[in-house]
A and B are shown apart, each in its own frame.
Chain A
Amino acid sequence: MKNARFRSGSIAIGVAGAALGIYLATLIAFGYVGQQRLRSSLFEQEQLSIEKQATAVAYFLANQRETLAELSESRQISTYLANRDLGMSMRYGLRASLMAVARDIKRLMERKRVHGRQVFSSVAFIEPDGQVLLEIDNGEAFEPRQPDASQAPVEPAALQVRRGANGSILTTTATISYKGKTAGFLAADFDASSILGPFLADRAGASQHRRTALVGPSDMVIVASDEDDWAHWRQRAANSDEMPIVVPVAGTNLSIVSFPDMNGIWGFLNSPLFLAALAFFSVPLLGGVIYLLRLNSHNLVLQTRTQVATQQRMLLKQQNARLQREIDKRVKSEEQLAHQANFDQLTGLPNRNLALDRLAQAIKWAKRENGSVLVLFLDLDRFKLVNDSLGHAAGDELLREAAQRLQSRVRESDTVSRLGGDEFLIICPEEQQQANWEQIAQQLIRVLAQPFYIGDHEFFVGASIGVAAYPVGGVEPHKLLKNADIAMYAAKEQGRNRFCYYDPSMDASAVEAMRLENNLRHAMERNELSLVYQPIVDLSSSQTVAVEALLRWHSAELGNVPPDKFIPVAEETGLIHEIGEWVLVEACRTISAMQPGPAFRVAINLSSKQFSRPARLLDCTLYALQSSGLMPSQLELEITESILIDDRPEIFSLINQLDRIGVRLSIDDFGTGYSALNYLQRFPFDVLKIDRTFTSQVPDNEASASLIRAIIAMAHALGLEVIAEGIESREQAGFLLVQHCELGQGYLYSRPITAEQLRAHLAGEEVMSA
């Protein structure tokens, strides 16, 4: 990144330098071209100016010649020539004509003016033989021409130049003709410097310092704008490549030569010097770019360091903020977890853990202070009625209301906690007097005896309270709690809405049965129930073809409770319906999720109590099949003989309905009861299960072996499939196989296993069979 920045900075400066260089180069190039064009343009302008001067001079000279020509054809000259031709003498008459010519010439000289002065310094009337007949001057430093033949113009059209004392004198001539012959010449002199000089001094051209000269034949300078330096400039021009502008003066043998000084035309901004300075400026500029590049590199290092430090600071700040948020979140989460771990979510009261902890603290304090701790175990009497009739939401509301009422009746130092369900525990430290705890218990019973209003309904719930006190009722928290619980059951036994103080003489077994029932009531909501599956195998192939779902209960308070202990309690309390339905739904869901083959079955034991509500059982069965997607043929319901004894028509109808929908029916524990064969005929069973008591005795016990043979034969005769339970040895299995028992289950093949273990078991069999 640093390198990239450095590169980008350097590139930017380089590009800027290059752009500036290109700009300067372009500027210089354009400046140079512009100068050349300006020079060329000014040269052309200068040439035009010189040409204009030449034209003006030519026009001027032509005008003078024309004037002279007109004069040569004047009447006076004609008169003179006529008179002369008539032979008149100067003395007598001809002079008058000549003087008339002279007056004409004078008038002409007076009239012809330029630059405010007379053009002609003298005009001479010259005979063809060169003799000057008449010469009129303007009186200004007149230099009379010599009257000899050499002065006769030989080329009238040409200008003659001669040197005078004050400069060059130009002579323009006009031929005088008379009767077709040359009768003489008019020769007009004018001072080149004063007459033509102003033409050359016309500074209409661009060059303010040009050196211009009118040059005659043989490169003779007739007049120059700066005659003193003319030779110098001509020499200087000759030594350089400076080309003079030479423009001939039309109609003459003269030319205007100019050496324009172009240096004078340059201003500061368009001067070659400025251009050169501009070109030279690129050198320090290049140095500046290099310096900037170096500066940029140094600067970039500093910038990069600063930026990195800033970024690191920002990153650190962000991380700190994130960390802080995480810490806050975790603290909050921990607080929440701690709260959840110690408090009941529904009522906000301390839960069992916190209650036990506080109880332990209280006991510890009591030990130290030789004090006492009062524990009140409270159970709502008719809570289940509310829960069943109005649903859990109403039950929850009732519990919250009950909790508030309890809290309102205890001291701040006391602890009201919810142990679960409709059980509350109140811990009252420092209570020793019986009158006090009776008063407390009474108050609590009273407050809960008040009607509860949930929705539009009014309920009278009531509560039973068991009271135990440290140290009499126990010195350990759990013991104290258990004793209070016992006392609570004792109170219930005495008829509800009562309280009972723990007495060690209380019947522990009865209390234990009540505890079992009470815990079983909460087993489902506490998710303490679970299913295990014992494989049922094809005895011939040892392949698992079905499983039997077996219910297990692990109570948080009572630990693992065997089915033979809690099933009867469930049947007695009616909890068997809910538990049986849960088993049906859970077993179907679990086996269906394993996606076994269509022949694979799950066998579920039904309690005879479940048949007391046949419609509910049928609905539950249908719901379990539908919700799990298990095929009816994969469900096998095991029924004990005891169900059939009552011979109730609704049971008969239920069994037939189950058969119609395809559910397989199995007669369980066959041989242990009545073993009435007519049941087998009347009901559409598919399977007969031989009880483990028979199986365990074969093959050694001949009686059992015979009985098994008979049962199997009978079952086969009735078209039933036979499953032998409790196979624990190969001999048993071998015997049963010999007797054509198709299926069997027992520790020989597999102990009851969890769903996950079953999945692995089945997978292992598939691998083996493959």
Chain B
Amino acid sequence: MHPLVLRACALILLVLTPLCSQLAAARDLDEIRQDGVLRHLGIPYANFVTGAGDGLDVELMQGFARHLGLRYEFVATSWRDVFGDLTGVHAKRNGADAERFGTTPIRGDLVANGMTILGWRKQVVAFSQPTFPSGVWLIARAESPLRPIAPTGLLDSDIRETKGRLEGISVLALASTCLDPGLYHLEATSAEVRLAPKERQLNEMIPALLNKDADTTLLDVPDALIALERWPGEIKVLGPISEKQEMAVAFRPESSQLRQAFNDYLVAIKQDGSYRRLVQKYYPAVFDYFPDFFRPDTI
């Protein structure tokens, strides 16, 4: 193809993309209702979206769709495309901020797969009320000479203690996710951060660790709880890497009606106990770790 033709096409796309984005931004609750379908963008991750057609967020969104009287539709995406599929514009972390790059058709109305609320993400999407507590731990293989820290009772001290053990230690991380090493300033340590390939899923972090892709790996708490049960005695938690984090459902900033509708729905199912039963089903241990988050008066 002639280079001029290619440039013309690129120009046309640049002109049309904002138009499309605009069209997409206009898809809020009314349009969704008109359309009759609630499209759930999700990435298989831990027990939020298991990839087998179920998961905490899958059932949550299915309930929400039923609540709205809409047909539910799961739209698979990836950490690289998730924001583009939601907003029509790709985004990634750049330091503490978000960096938008390129447009893409909007494929879904919301993202729910245990997405941690991070600062840069808030610049791209609008989060609902927190749905799940989280954090990031440093995990090592069982036979690793690294010793877990002795908790001090103070999270900051524990984070420092944990990070203090990273000297000369390779750490497996996953960019653009909650395991993005930049979020936790691992560069400040002498650890050797090994970023996993972009196509790797969060679910594949422990297998990679066991495959000795690195000495340690970052892993969010919900996933760690799953991993501890799935590979008992093969891995160990060395200590915390992050502060307390929370997960939430991400909406396009323009879908305020839809987000509000979800927040209302979340309050309702927390109050009627159905949300707790849902969490109990997929993350029974989380209540012990985050008792405050799941206190009856808070949910």
Contact = CB atoms under 8 A, between A and B. Distances in A.
A97 B227 CA distance: 11
Contacts of B240: 92
Contact of B151 (A75, A78, A90): A90
A246 interface: no
B237 interface: yes
A86 B233 contact: yes
A139 interface: no
A102 to B, nearest CB: 8
A90 B148 CA distance: 11
A75 B232 contact: yes
Given A83-B236, A86-B142, A88-B236, A96 B147 contact: no
B148 A86 contact: yes
A82 interface: yes
A86 B146 CA distance: 10
Contacts of B285: 95-96, 99-100, 103
B143 to A, nearest CB: 9
B239 A95 contact: no
A79 B147 contact: no
Contacts of B225: 96
B149 interface: yes
A188 to B, nearest CB: 21
Contacts of B238: 92
Contact of A92 (B137, B229, B232, B233): B137
Interface string B149-160: 111000000100
A78 B148 contact: no
Chain A, interface size category, equals 20 to 34
Most buried by B among A75, A96, A99: A96
A98 B158 CA distance: 21
A597 interface: no
Most buried by A among B137, B149, B229, B236: B236
Most buried by B among A75, A82, A88, A97: A88
B150 A78 contact: no
Interface string A505-524: 00000000000000000000
Interface residues of B, number: 23
Contacts of B233: 78-79, 82-83, 86
Nearest to B226: A96
Contacts of B149: 89, 92
B224 interface: yes
B232 A88 contact: no
Given A88-B237, A93-B237, A82 B148 contact: no
Nearest to B140: A86
Interface string A71-82: 000010011001
Given A82-B233, A87-B148, A89-B150, A95 B288 contact: yes
Contacts of B148: 86-89, 92-93
B296 interface: no
Contacts of B151: 89-92
Interface string B262-299: 00000000000000000000001100110000000000
Contacts of A87: 147-148, 236
B228 interface: yes
Nearest to B280: A103
A520 B123 CA distance: 203
A249 B228 CA distance: 42
Contacts of A91: 151, 158
A326 B230 CA distance: 141
Contact of A93 (B137, B150, B158, B284): B137
Interface in A236-259: none
A99 B237 contact: no
Contacts of A98: 288
B236 A86 contact: yes
Most buried by B among A75, A83, A91: A91
A490 B158 CA distance: 205
B229 A93 contact: no
Given A86-B148, A90-B151, A96 B239 contact: no
Contacts of B150: 89
Contacts of A78: 232-233
Contacts of A100: 229, 285
A706 to B, nearest CB: 198
Contacts of B237: 83, 88-89, 92-94
A95 B289 contact: yes
Nearest to A81: B233
Contacts of A88: 148, 236-237
Most buried by A among B151, B232, B238: B232
A441 to B, nearest CB: 173
B288 A83 contact: no
A225 to B, nearest CB: 42
Interface string A83-120: 10011111111111111101100000000000000000
A91 B149 CA distance: 10
Contacts of A94: 237
B289 A97 contact: no
B14 to A, nearest CB: 49
A75 to B, nearest CB: 7
22 contacts: A75-B232, A83-B228, A83-B236, A86-B148, A86-B236, A88-B148, A88-B236, A89-B151, A89-B239, A90-B151, A91-B158, A92-B148, A92-B237, A92-B238, A93-B137, A93-B228, A95-B289, A96-B224, A97-B228, A98-B288, A99-B284, A100-B285
Given A89-B149, A96-B225, 5 more contacts: A86-B148, A92-B237, A96-B224, A96-B228, A99-B284
Interface of B: 137, 142, 147-151, 158, 224-225, 228-229, 232-233, 236-240, 284-285, 288-289
Interface of A: 75, 78-79, 82-83, 86-100, 102-103
